[in-house]
């Protein structure tokens, strides 16, 4: 069959873990597709300050995915460094470099130069779902409508936030951007389409809202694989089971159901979870069952997948994810 053609979709954090797990495999041709509506942090600042350049909310996630796929791990690590003081506090070297390349060469050529600088092989490509600017809108259960994904985190951190009253009921993009032709073509030709873990309503679903991406996935002959989130998140997925995640994805993929779901099977220590309940507003997902749901015939692969960053954040461990994905994809 030759190289296995993969398309991964999602935000930057969860998708970069998936890409690191896949990057060492020369048997893969990978197209990573990033969401375009991030409005927080350094990405949000750059998108606002340099809107005349056409920069959108894919900026930071594109850089993360490029670094995840780069064979030069030393350079990728250096470019991911963030300044911890001064006027550039919180900004990463790669974001500054990427911005400079866009200012010099434009959006497309600037992205291509970043591929070259990070020495990405020809079979690895990272694309924003669209180069067009857009804003994420969301409606809550109380009927109120809000703009910008960063605002949802702010709202859900308030003491009066009540998941039963303020649950997310609908998300959409204004204006609705057109998907890049290279992205649609990659989906059409893919052997496997991978939905990466990430915040469901502000990272994963927004990439499905771009142009004809959902329709392309629904009609693609490739198999669909979902790497399930490790934990739920207050303000987005309160009390969600694995089946709840899949129901939302199906609704935004013209009814397409995954062929394979990968879940974490190993419990996360209570000590680690307390930090998330207190600061990150997250709790553990019960990840390793679809029994008793309409998805119980879906292939479910469970394994110990979680790890911890030096800063204490709970993430998918690429080294644990790698053999699981390799077995499925081959």
Going by the DSSP 8-state scheme, the letter that residue 37 receives in this structure is B
Domain residue ranges of the chain, discontinuous segments joined by +: 4-329
At residue 1, the pLDDT reads: 56
Q: Which of 315, 81, 43 is nearest to 196 (CA)?
A: 315
Residues 6+ apart with CB under 8 A from 176: 134, 209, 210, 211
Which CATH number is correct for 4-329, 3.40.50.12640, 3.40.50.1820, 3.40.50.10680, 3.40.50.10240?
3.40.50.10680
| pLDDT tens-place values along the chain, 330 residues long | 589 999 999 988 899 999 999 998 789 999 999 999 998 888 999 999 999 999 999 999 999 999 999 999 999 999 999 888 887 788 899 999 999 999 999 999 999 999 999 999 999 999 999 999 999 999 999 999 999 888 888 888 777 788 778 889 999 999 999 999 999 999 999 999 999 999 999 999 999 999 999 999 999 999 999 999 998 888 888 889 999 999 999 999 999 999 999 999 988 888 878 777 766 555 767 567 899 999 999 999 999 999 988 877 889 999 999 999 999 998
Instruction: Tell me the residue ranges of DSSP E strands in 27-88.
Output: 28-34
At residue 248, the pLDDT reads: 96
At residue 56, the pLDDT reads: 95
Gyration radius of the chain's alpha carbons = 19
Distance CA 48, CA 108 (A): 19
Going by the DSSP 8-state scheme, the letter that residue 179 receives in this structure is P
Distance CA 2, CA 290 (A): 33
Contact 74, 116 (CB under 8 A): no
At residue 280, the pLDDT reads: 57
Give the ranges where 136-180 is alpha helix by DSSP (H).
Answer: 149-156, 163-166
Distance CA 56, CA 133 (A): 5
Structure tokens at 226: 């979902």
At residue 273, the pLDDT reads: 80
At residue 279, the pLDDT reads: 60
Distance CA 192, CA 5 (A): 7
What torsion do the CA atoms of 201, 203, 206, 208 make, to the nearest 10 degrees?
-110
At residue 305, the pLDDT reads: 96
Upper half-sphere CA count for residue 135 (Cβ side, 13 Å): 11
């Amino acid at each position: 069959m030759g190289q296995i053609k993969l398309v991964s979709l999602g935000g930057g954090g969860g998708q970069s873990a998936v890409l690191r797990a896949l990057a060492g495999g020369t048997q893969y041709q990978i197209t990573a597709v990033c969401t375009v509506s991030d409005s927080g942090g350094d990405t949000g600042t750059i998108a606002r300050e340099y809107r005349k350049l056409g920069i959108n909310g894919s900026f930071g996630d594109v850089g993360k995915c490029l670094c995840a796929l780069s064979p030069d791990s030393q350079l990728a690590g250096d470019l991911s460094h963030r300044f911890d003081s001064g006027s550039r506090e919180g900004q990463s070297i790669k974001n500054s470099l990427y911005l400079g390349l866009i200012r010099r060469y434009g959006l497309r050529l600037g992205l291509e130069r970043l591929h070259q600088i990070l020495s990405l092989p020809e079979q690895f490509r990272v694309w924003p779902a669209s180069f067009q600017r857009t804003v994420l809108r969301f409606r809550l259960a109380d009927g109120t409508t809000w703009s910008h994904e960063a605002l949802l985190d702010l709202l859900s951190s308030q003491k009066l936030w009540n998941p039963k009253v303020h649950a997310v009921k609908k998300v959409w993009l204004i204006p609705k951007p057109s998907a890049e032709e290279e992205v649609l073509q990659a989906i059409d030709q893919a052997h496997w389409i991978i939905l990466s873990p990430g915040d469901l309503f502000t990272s994963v679903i927004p990439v499905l809202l771009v142009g004809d991406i959902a329709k392309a996935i629904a009609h693609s002959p490739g198999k669909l694989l979902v790497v399930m989130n490790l934990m739920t998140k207050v303000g987005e997925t309160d009390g969600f089971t694995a089946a709840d995640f899949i129901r939302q994805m199906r609704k935004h993929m013209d009814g397409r159901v995954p062929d394979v779901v990968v879940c974490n099977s190993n419990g996360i220590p209570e000590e680690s979870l307390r930090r998330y309940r207190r600061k990150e507003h997250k709790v553990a997902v019960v990840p390793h069952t679809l029994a008793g749901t309409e998805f119980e015939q879906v292939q479910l692969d469970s394994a110990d997948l979680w790890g911890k960053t030096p800063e204490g954040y709970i993430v998918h461990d690429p080294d644990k994810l790698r053999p699981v994905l390799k077995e499925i994809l081959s």
